[in-house]
Amino acid sequence: MRSWLMGTAVGLTALGFTTVGVSSLAWSAGSNTGNQEEIYQQLDLFAEILARVDSEYVVDVDDSEAMKSAINGMLASLDPHSSYLAADDYEDMQVQTSGEYGGLGIEVQAKDGYVEIVAPIDDTPASRADLRSGDLVSAIDGVSIVGQSPNDAITSMRGEVGTDITLTIIRAGEDDTFDVTLTREIIRPKSVIHRIEDEDIGYVRISAFNERTTELLDESLTAIREELGPNPAGLIIDLRNNPGGLLDQAISVSSMFMSSGEVVSTRGRDPRDIQRYNAAPGERFPDTPIMVLINGGSASAAEIVAGALQDMERAQVLGMTSFGKGSVQTVIPLSAQRGALRLTTARYYTPSGRSIQGTGIEPDFEVASRFITEDELEAMRRFSEADLPNALDNDSGAERREIHLPEDMPSEDYEGDDYQLERAIEQLRTITLSSLDAARAG
C-alpha cells in the first residue's frame, strides 16, 4: 500500500463494484452483533430496491452500472477523495505517478455539479490553452456534463493521442462561457525545472510530486550550485498550482532544505496511531534564504513542503492561501485483480502540530499574482477543500481565513510577467541586506 496526497487527475476513472467492498463494510462493523444485523438488514433493503428497479423501472436498467453508482455514492458520502479504481484505472494511476501518462494535463474535482479544474500541469495541452485553477467545465464536445462525476468526465476526456477535444469553460469574471479546443497527447510532465533569476538567485519550479520529483530536484539544485556556487543570494521554490502527489516525495523534497527535525506527522482513526516523518541528512544551501511561492492551487503534498519549511523557520512563504487538503489517501489493492480502493486513512499535521485540513497554509507575505476584481474574489472564496461536498472537518476546530482583496497586488494595467516572483526576489534582497547589516553590526 502506498500513501497519496493528490486530487483526481485526468487519465483516472473510478468505476466498478465488488462484493469485497460490501462484505468488508459489514464485517468491519465491530463486535456488536446488533450493529452487524442492522447492516445486513440495510443490505437486504438495497437488494430489494435493486430488484424493484430492475423489474419495474420504465426502461431496462444496466444492473452493473447501477451497482457502480451505488458504490461510488457510498464512497463519495465519506469524503471527496475516497474512490474505487477498477483494474485498468488502478494501472492508469500507477502509470501517471511514474511520470508519464496520456491525457490533457489537468487535475479536476467535483464542484456544485460541475467539473472544476484544480490546476493545469506545466507544458501540457491544458496549460498551453491557458486553462486556470477554478475554471469549470460544463460540456465536452458540445455535450453537457453538468451533474456528472469527475470520473465520468475524465473518461470522456480520454481518447486517442492526436485527436481533438473541445471543453466548454465557465470562468469567474467572464459573462459568457467559451470553448477551448485541445489536442490529446502523451503527458510527460517534467515535475521540476530550474533557472537563474536576477543573476544570483536560484529558482526551482515543482509542478507535481511523482516518483521522479526528488531525483529531478537533486539535478536542478546541483546545476544551480555549479552556476552560482554554494551560497546563492536566495532560492525560490515555486509550488503554485501544484496539486500534490506522493507522500514520500513530499518528505524527501522537504529534507533537501532541512538539516533535521520533523517534516510531517499523520494520525489515523485511533488518536494513538501517530506516525512521524523526519528529515533525512543532506540539506542543500543551508546558509541561503528561501522563499516558497504558493496559491489556491497548491494542495496536499505541496502544502506539506510549504508548511514544514515555514514551521521550521527554514523559509518564508509568499502568495495566496493554499487549497487546504490535509488528508492522506492509502491505495489498497483488492483481491483477484479487482483494482484498488483509494481510502482516506489519516490527516496530516505540520511540524508545529497544526492541521491545515480546510484551512490551508497562510503565506507570510500575502501577494496576488494579478489584479483581482470583486467578482473574482467571490469565486476564489469558494475554491478550497472546505467547500467540497463531505469534506473532512478540521479536528482542531480551525477555520479557513476569509479571503479578502490583498493589499499587495499588481495594478490593473500591470505588464510584467510574474508579479509574485518579482515580489519574492525583492523580499530575498531585503533578507540579504538585513543579514549583511547584522554581520557588520556584530
The DSSP line for 213-270 is HHHHHHHHHHHHHHHH-S--SEEEEE-TT---BBHHHHHHHHHTT-SSSEEEEEE-SS
Give tens-digit pLDDT for 225-260.
999 999 999 999 999 999 999 999 999 999 999 999
Which comes out higher in pLDDT, residue 68 or 346?
Answer: 346
Provide CB contacts within 8 A for 188, sequence distance 6+: 99, 100
Give tens-digit pLDDT for 260-281.
999 999 999 987 889 999 999 9
Amino acid residing at 271: P
Spans of all domains in the chain: 17-85, 102-187, 192-437
Q: For the chain, give the mean pLDDT.
A: 85
Which candidate, 132, 141, 126, 139, places its Cα nearest to that of 171? 132
Is residue 311 among the annotated active site residues? Answer: yes
Whole-angstrom distance, CA of residue 399 vs CA of residue 406: 19
Determine which one of 298, 300, 355, 384 is catalytic.
300
Which comes out higher in pLDDT, residue 246 or 18?
Answer: 246
What is the pLDDT confidence band of residue 19, given thresholds at 50, 70 and 90?
very low
Which class for 398: exposed (0-12), middle (13-18), buried (19 or more C-beta within 10 A)? middle
What is the pLDDT confidence band of residue 98, given thresholds at 50, 70 and 90?
low
Instruction: Give pLDDT, residue 123.
Output: 81
* Homologous superfamily of 102-187: PDZ domain (2.30.42.10)
Whole-angstrom distance, CA of residue 229 vs CA of residue 259: 19
Give tens-digit pLDDT for 184-231.
998 776 789 999 999 999 999 999 898 899 999 999 999 999 999 999
Determine which one of 207, 238, 311, 384 is catalytic.
311
Instruction: Give pLDDT, residue 275.
Output: 94
User: Over 70: is that where the pLDDT of 15 sits?
Assistant: no
Tell me whether the CATH fold assigned to 102-187 matches the one assigned to 192-437: no
Determine which one of 89, 92, 135, 325 is catalytic.
325
Cell, residue 222: 546541483
The one-character DSSP state at 400 is: P
Instruction: Indicate the pTM of the whole model.
Output: 0.76
Give tens-digit pLDDT for 39-86.
888 889 998 998 999 999 999 988 877 887 887 789 989 999 998 887
**For the domain bounded by 192-437, which CATH number is listed?**
3.90.226.10
Instruction: Give pLDDT, residue 14.
Output: 23
User: Over 80: is that where the pLDDT of 378 sits?
Assistant: no
